[in-house]
């Protein structure tokens, strides 16, 4: 049995979206467009239909994000998206706006900081060496 799920993903355009991982509290899927962050891209028995800023796309490709697990791959996606719900099911996630407007995910590779942008999106910039 082949399952197709439809999901809606919208992001604000930034200068280089390929280096951003958007933490999305409204998403139930993890979707990546940056092939360089992934390993073991393979064809899935299921498909995932995504509606976003760039229109509707469907992918049957899944892959492994090192230290995280399986995510969908779609080269047409505008950026890389992690579902906050999925992230919380895998790792401890903390947020305290009194001290800093950021989410902190405690992973085996260390604490990952998703900073809030001026437009309210929470992103991990893998190109940012701070």
pTM confidence score: 0.83
Assess whether pLDDT exceeds 50 at residue 120: yes
Pairing mode, strands 69-73 and 4-9: unpaired
pLDDT of residue 68: 94
Q: Say what the pLDDT of residue 115 is.
A: 94
* Whole-angstrom distance, CA of residue 1 vs CA of residue 102: 41
Report the pLDDT value the prediction gives residue 106, as an integer from 0 to 100: 96
Closest to 42 in 3D by CA, of 65, 64, 21: 64
The rounded distance, in Å, linking the Cα atoms of 113 and 105 is 7
Residue at 52 is within a domain: yes
Helix/strand/coil for 14:
coil
Domain that holds residue 72: 4-125
Question: Is position 12 within any domain?
Answer: yes
The pairing of strands 92-96 and 31-32 is unpaired
Number of domains in the chain: 1
Structure tokens at 112: 């990952």
**For 82-106, how does the pLDDT look when each residue is reduced to its tens digit (9 = 90+)?**
999 999 999 999 998 888 999 999 9
pLDDT per position as a tens digit, 17-68: 788 999 999 889 999 999 988 988 999 999 999 887 667 889 999 999 988 9
Helices marked H in the chain = 84-90
Confidence (pLDDT) at 128: 66
Q: Is residue 95 part of a domain?
A: yes
130 belongs to a structural domain? no
Strand order in the sheet with 92-96: 4-9, 38-52, 55-65, 69-73, 31-32, 80-83, 20-24, 122-125, 110-116, 100-107, 92-96
- Predicted confidence at residue 15, as pLDDT, reads 53
pLDDT at 9: 47
């Amino acid at each position: 049995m082949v399952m197709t799920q439809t999901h809606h993903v919208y992001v604000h355009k930034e200068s280089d979206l390929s280096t951003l991982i958007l933490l999305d509290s409204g998403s139930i899927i993890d979707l990546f467009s940056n092939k360089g962050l992934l390993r073991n891209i393979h064809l899935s028995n299921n498909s995932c239909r995504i509606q976003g800023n760039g229109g509707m796309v469907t992918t049957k490709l899944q892959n492994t994000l090192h230290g995280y697990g399986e995510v969908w791959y779609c080269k047409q996606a505008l950026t890389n998206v992690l579902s906050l719900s999925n992230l919380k099911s895998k790792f401890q996630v903390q947020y305290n706006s009194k001290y800093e407007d950021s989410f902190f995910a405690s992973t085996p590779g260390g604490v990952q900081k998703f900073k809030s942008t001026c437009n309210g999106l929470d992103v991990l910039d893998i190109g940012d060496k701070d």
